[in-house]
Amino acid sequence: MLKWLKRVVLTILIVFFLAVGVFFAIRNPQLIHLDLVFWQGPELSVALYTILSFTIGACVALLVSSVTYFRSERQVRVLSKRLEKSQSEADRLRASSIAQELSIGKE
């Protein structure tokens, strides 16, 4: 039920941000040179440089978060294997304890 609501909200947000981006590009047609310390960019509009910077920032954020995600996934796999090993060892110890109690009870 909430799936369609999520889609509607996501669609509205995407349309809103696209409209803001188009409006920003229309309102800022000035051409500028981007002059960094070791590199001079071509003459492009303010809006294009802004959109490029947001895009590059999003890609960097995605890359950094994916590294963290994969690291945590690897840690989850290692800890899951350790948990399975501990559980099987605990089951083996319980079984041997029960067998030992039964053998003591027969004597």
pLDDT score recorded for residue 61: 93
Q: What are phi and psi of 34, to 5 degrees?
A: -95, 115
Residue 102 has pLDDT above 80, yes or no: no
Torsions phi, psi of 36, nearest 5?
-95, 175
pTM above 0.85, yes or no: no
Could you report the per-residue pLDDT of 25-51, keeping only the tens digit for each? 888 788 888 888 888 888 888 888 888
Cβ neighbours of residue 47 under 8 Å, at least 6 residues apart? Answer: 21, 24, 25, 28, 29
Q: What ranges do the domains of the chain cover?
A: 2-106
**Average pLDDT estimate for 85-99:** 86
State the residue for tokens 């954020």: 61
User: Encoding tokens for residue 50?
Assistant: 């802004």
Please give the Cα distance from 70 to 77 (Å, whole number): 11
> Per-residue pLDDT tens for 4-28?
888 889 899 989 988 888 888 888 7
Please tell me the distance from the alpha carbon of residue 65 to that of residue 28, in angstroms, as a whole number.
Answer: 32
Give CA–CA dist 18/10, Å, rounded: 12
